[in-house]
């Protein structure tokens, strides 16, 4: 019995000795200071249109689209005068310029656009329109020769202001699905998942590919054309446009497809891993009658609120990117429509209500008087991360956990949609250690976010004091990709949080 007691006391003394030897750390609590700068981050904000960062903007109220990509002479200055800096270059090119002969594709045009976008700090957002209303922007010449001139019966989808049929070809002709659908299939097989391709619009009918009369298509044609995109773009984000205002029931546009959609009465478009979250786009944001709006139909008062819900798209922002495009240009808002600041602010807030991440202003200048409103809008558009609180021990040990408690806030209106990583960097003059966390950033919806995790210090980490830094990084290179709305940004894009010390683990 005596021997047992002696052994017990020796064990207690050893435990006490090592307990004192293994210093008890204090808890460090950090409250980073928020900043209010406009942050030029991936996948959010304004886009350039038919242009890249550093190009001259459109003059006056007009813009161009549909033609082959034109490259301005670049002087090395990426600044967009009177227009926000962007991370996305949006181009719309008509089918005729990308398939000049049957099954002969002009891939060099897209290759160069992707390369140029990357050189200008952008990714490429792309739409291939089947046709516009003029002969020089028609379907390819070889296809027109094959199917003949537009028939009067094509006015079934309606007419333009000039009385031209909105459908320039018969979409039910199986050759359209074969050739235009074939081009989209080839496009996806070549470019799906390209790191510099931001997104692709689902576009197949109507002027500019905006979908006029989609509800008039047979199920076979509609689903076949949509599936040309869904089946061949498995990784690149897609956008769908179900908000033209011409469908009595916008819900029929996704019926029978694997596009995820849900309605307030509990119905959905299907469940299971085969369902795809496809972002939606809104054209003509800002179409509103300022005087007597009750007497004039407009997108802002008669279409969007109804069709976002009835199309089943109202909840997709949680998983897929919402993008919007200006009606006219800012200069036409100012000079023709004569919008005041109150009206502009209301339009911007409606866009936030619908959780937009990106906006195409058609590379039109922002009027100086509205620049503060635009900056305020940009600080809400998409995601915006503020680190509110960080707690961690002042001392950690090799081959032992670093318990990290963090509270963030996404003060934007949408999550991030790319699979970036939240990572911690420990750095001193001798060693740099990067510890990626398991945080799933695509689930970080607007509001408060808690992320608590035990990170582990490597067994061979040199003992000593380190700077602790945070960043949202590429999962491949671990280079910072997303700017945070806090002070402390280092020259290489990380954010200083505090000091921490690594010691030898004498209990291992």
DSSP 135-169: GGGSS-HHHHHHH-SPPGGGGGG-B-TTS-BS-SS
Per-residue pLDDT at 314 exceeds 50 = yes
Using DSSP, state whether 282 is helix, strand or coil.
strand
Mean pLDDT of 344-365: 97
Instruction: Quote the tokens at residue 132.
Output: 């516009």
Interatomic CA distance for residues 95 and 128, integer angstroms: 6
**Mean of all residue pLDDT scores within the chain:** 93
Query: 0.75 exceeded by the pTM?
Result: yes
Instruction: Quote the tokens at residue 379.
Output: 């600080």
Q: Give which of 200, 300, 304, 320 is closest to 243, Cα–Cα.
A: 304
For domain 45-378, give the CATH number.
Answer: 3.20.20
Mean pLDDT of 173-182: 98
Per-residue pLDDT at 508 exceeds 70 = no
Per-residue pLDDT at 20 exceeds 80 = no
Neighbour tally for 118: CB within 10 Å:
14
Is residue 183 within 8 Å of 128, Cβ to Cβ?
A: yes
Per-residue pLDDT at 4 exceeds 80 = no
Q: Taking the domains of the chain in order of start, what are their residue ranges?
A: 20-37+384-503, 45-378
Interatomic CA distance for residues 171 and 221, integer angstroms: 7
**What is the band of 319 on the pLDDT scale with cuts at 50, 70, 90?**
very high
CATH topology (fold) of 20-37+384-503? Immunoglobulin-like (2.60.40)
Is residue 26 within 8 Å of 393, Cβ to Cβ?
A: yes
**What is the band of 22 on the pLDDT scale with cuts at 50, 70, 90?**
low
Interatomic CA distance for residues 114 and 71, integer angstroms: 13
Q: What pLDDT is recorded for position 163?
A: 84
Task: Convert the pLDDT of each residue in 381-421 to its tens digit.
Answer: 999 999 999 999 999 999 999 999 999 999 999 999 999 99
**What is the band of 435 on the pLDDT scale with cuts at 50, 70, 90?**
very high
**What is the band of 292 on the pLDDT scale with cuts at 50, 70, 90?**
low
Q: Residue 346 contacts by C-beta under 8 Å, 6 or more apart in sequence?
A: none
Q: Where are the beta strands (DSSP E) in 4-154?
A: 27-30, 45-49, 88-94, 123-129
- Continuous H helices in 161-303: 174-191, 219-230, 299-302
């Amino acid at each position: 019995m005596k021997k047992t007691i002696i052994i017990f006391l020796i064990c207690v003394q050893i435990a006490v000795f090592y307990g004192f030897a293994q210093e008890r750390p204090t808890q460090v609590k950090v409250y980073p200071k928020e900043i209010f700068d406009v942050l030029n981050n991936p996948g959010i904000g304004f886009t350039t249109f038919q242009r890249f960062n550093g190009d001259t903007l459109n003059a006056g109220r007009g813009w161009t689209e549909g033609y082959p990509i034109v490259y301005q002479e670049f002087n090395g200055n990426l600044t967009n005068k009177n227009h926000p800096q962007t991370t996305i270059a949006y181009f719309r090119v008509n089918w005729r310029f990308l398939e000049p002969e049957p099954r002969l594709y002009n891939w060099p045009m897209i290759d160069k656009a992707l390369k140029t976008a990357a050189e200008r700090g952008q990714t490429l957002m792309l739409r291939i329109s089947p046709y516009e209303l003029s002969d020089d922007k028609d379907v390819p010449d070889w296809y027109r020769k094959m199917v003949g001139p537009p028939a009067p019966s094509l006015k079934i989808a309606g007419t333009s202001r000039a009385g031209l049929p909105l459908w320039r070809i018969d979409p039910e002709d199986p050759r359209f699905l074969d050739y235009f659908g074939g081009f989209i299939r080839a496009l996806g097989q070549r470019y799906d998942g390209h790191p510099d391709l931001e997104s692709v619009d689902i576009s197949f009918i109507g002027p500019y590919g905006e979908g006029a009369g989609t509800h008039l298509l047979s199920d076979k044609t509609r689903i076949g054309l949509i599936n040309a995109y869904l089946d061949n773009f498995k990784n690149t984000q897609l956008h769908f446009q179900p908000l033209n205002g011409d469908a009595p029931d916008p819900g029929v546009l996704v019926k029978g497809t694997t596009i995820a959609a849900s309605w307030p009465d509990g119905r959905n478009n299907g469940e299971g891993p085969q369902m795809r979250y496809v972002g939606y786009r809104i054209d003509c944001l800002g179409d509103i009658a300022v005087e007597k709006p009750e007497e004039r139909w407009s997108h802002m008062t008669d279409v969007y609120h109804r069709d976002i819900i009835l199309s089943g798209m109202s909840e997709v922002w949680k998983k897929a990117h919402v993008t919007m495009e200006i009606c006219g240009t800012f200069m036409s808002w100012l000079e023709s429509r004569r919008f005041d600041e109150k009206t502009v602010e209301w339009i911007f807030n409606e866009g936030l209500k619908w959780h937009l991440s990106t906006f195409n202003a058609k590379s039109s200048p922002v009027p100086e008087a509205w620049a503060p409103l635009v900056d305020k809008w940009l600080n809400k558009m998409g995601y915006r991360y503020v680190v509110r609180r960080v707690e961690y021990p002042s001392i950690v040990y090799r081959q032992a956990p670093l318990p990290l408690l963090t509270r963030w806030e996404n003060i934007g209106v949408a999550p991030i949609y790319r699979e970036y990583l939240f990572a911690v960097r420990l750095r001193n003059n001798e060693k740099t250690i990067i510890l990626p966390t398991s945080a799933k950033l695509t689930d970080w919806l607007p509001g408060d976010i808690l992320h608590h995790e035990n990170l582990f210090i490597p067994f061979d980490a040199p003992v000593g004091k380190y700077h602790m830094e945070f960043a949202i990084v590429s999962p491949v290179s671990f280079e910072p990709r997303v700017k945070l709305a806090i002070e402390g940004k280092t020259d290489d894009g990380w954010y200083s949080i505090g000091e921490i010390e690594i010691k030898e683990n004498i209990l291992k």
